[in-house]
Amino acid sequence: MGNRKNKMKKIKRALISTWNKSNLKNLLRLLEKEKVELISSGGTYREIRKLGFKCKEVSSFTGSAEILNGRVKTLHPKIHAGILSKRHNKSHKKDLKKNNFLEIDLVIVNFYPFEKILENTKNHNMIIENIDIGGPAMVRAAAKNYKDVTVITNPNQYKDLIEELIKNKGSTSLSFRQKFSKEAFIETTYYDSLIANYLNKSFGEKFPSKKIFFGNLEEKLRYGENPHQESAVYSFSKNLKTKQLSGKKLSYNNYNDIFSGLSISKTLPKNIGTVIIKHTNPCGVSINKDHLKSYQYALSCDPLSAFGGIICCNYKVKSKLAKEMNKLFFEVVVANGFAKDALKILKRKKNLRIIDASKVKKINIQNIITNFDMMLIQNPDTSQFTNKNFKIVSKKKPSSKTLKSLIFAFNICRFVKSNSIVLVKNDSTVGIGGGQPSRVDSCQIAINKMNNFQDIKDNDEIVAASDAFFPFVDGFEKLVQAGVSAIIQPSGSIKDKEIIKFANETKTILVFSKTRHFKH
């Protein structure tokens, strides 16, 4: 019993300083009942008094007035000594008595809304002023001294604190203090990470000497890529920008495919574009302006692979299209919104995951791979292409329509696992080959897909894109023999002149890209 009592800590004095002042009343009522002395400052002090509770202002408690327009309020030895003192340390007790300092047993603090300010303004001075100093300092002090002090950093934790105090008659257990100490350090770390990343971005530092990552747990997933792997999804902001409207919970693989689909669709023209994804690879893409035809053309590229995949639409889904989608089995449908009648139709399939991505914006987030206690970081390959990124090198020149098809094919190519080849007719893919060590094999796969699923006529214009240069003529020749009349590829091979020569001999249009687009 003695050991248990030693671990229980009676709350006699609490310091409360919150930006978010919601849900305080029930907690204050309990603290008053337990005869806890309250200390507070600024707006929180006024709120506590307004709610009808006794409270001592920080400046009165410390004997020092707030200065620097409120920048310095709680940064005082009487505050921090009261929080940090070890209750059973004779030297600490002696110091407190000598300086007439009092112990503080409970710290309830939440910070200036730095994250919210970032979302709402680009005013640098305003952002800097919303960096909280005193709050995190008190929280860190209380969290460090968890053996004697309880720290609460979020209004969502008030319910737990109330239950703990009622259960233990105004005291907290060591396990409770440990739990919320951990939460407090997570909160300060997250807060500091936001600030560090903002400053790095502001000052143009892409790769600082120490890289800090942060995220909010959205959901622990059933498992990872396979049932024996654990997984979870985190977001870099307070909430995911995607919103699930119906269907089963999303899996790790679902999220992975959704990310892939959104990455492609955000490079397509606004309100145009259907992407079908299977195992993160596109198996059909179309930018036909008619949304129904766009879906049908994307599906026809590889209908077998599309089975059990996900659809990502860069537009709002209407009922006519929803009816067509319901004819086949898909895991997920992602779109920039759904008409009411379309949503009703899609919801008939109770397991179909329906995702509204209308609030997802194209943002420049770094790609990260971790392994063996190391990280690889790079900028994403999602910049919009323009005609200036390419050079026509063949004698035969493309029409504006052909060049547009080539650039569309090249854009899709960079989202297919390397080595990748994409075949396009008009505004839709008709063959995709990727993930092969040999570029020639990727050519053959793309050609086989086209021959299996497309009705290609003699006068149809088929163009091809390659994510990297052809090191030899063989792959290029295979495409030409299959009916391809225009090819786009990066330059940079010692065989470039031979490729150009072969293109001219076969009267094939050849366009060089200034950049390579591997995806591993």
User: 243-246 and 428-433: which strand pairing?
Assistant: unpaired
- Residue tagged active-site, from 279, 347, 349, 396: 279
Residue 59 CA: distances (Å) to CA of 39, 72, 231, 269: 10, 10, 48, 59
According to DSSP, residue 455 is labeled: -
Contact at 8 Å (CB) between 174 and 196?
A: no
According to DSSP, residue 19 is labeled: S
DSSP conformation letters of 194-249: HHHHHHHHHTT-SS-SS-----EEEEEES-SSSTTS-EEEEESSSS-S-EEEESSP
Closest CA to 414 of 298, 314, 515: 515
CA-to-CA distance for 77 and 141, rounded, in angstroms? 12
DSSP helix/strand/coil, 393 = coil
Contact at 8 Å (CB) between 150 and 176?
A: yes
Q: Report how far Cα 78 is from the mean position of its chain's Cα atoms.
A: 42
Beta bridge partners of 150: 106
CA-to-CA distance for 132 and 128, rounded, in angstroms? 9
Active site residue 144: yes
- Residue tagged active-site, from 12, 93, 144, 241: 144
Active site residue 279: yes
CA-to-CA distance for 143 and 151, rounded, in angstroms? 6
Q: Which burial class, exposed, middle or buried, applies to 316 when counting CB atoms under 10 A from its CB (0-12, 13-18, 19+)?
A: middle
Tokens at residue 228, please? 């024996």
| Active centre residues (catalytic) | 144, 279
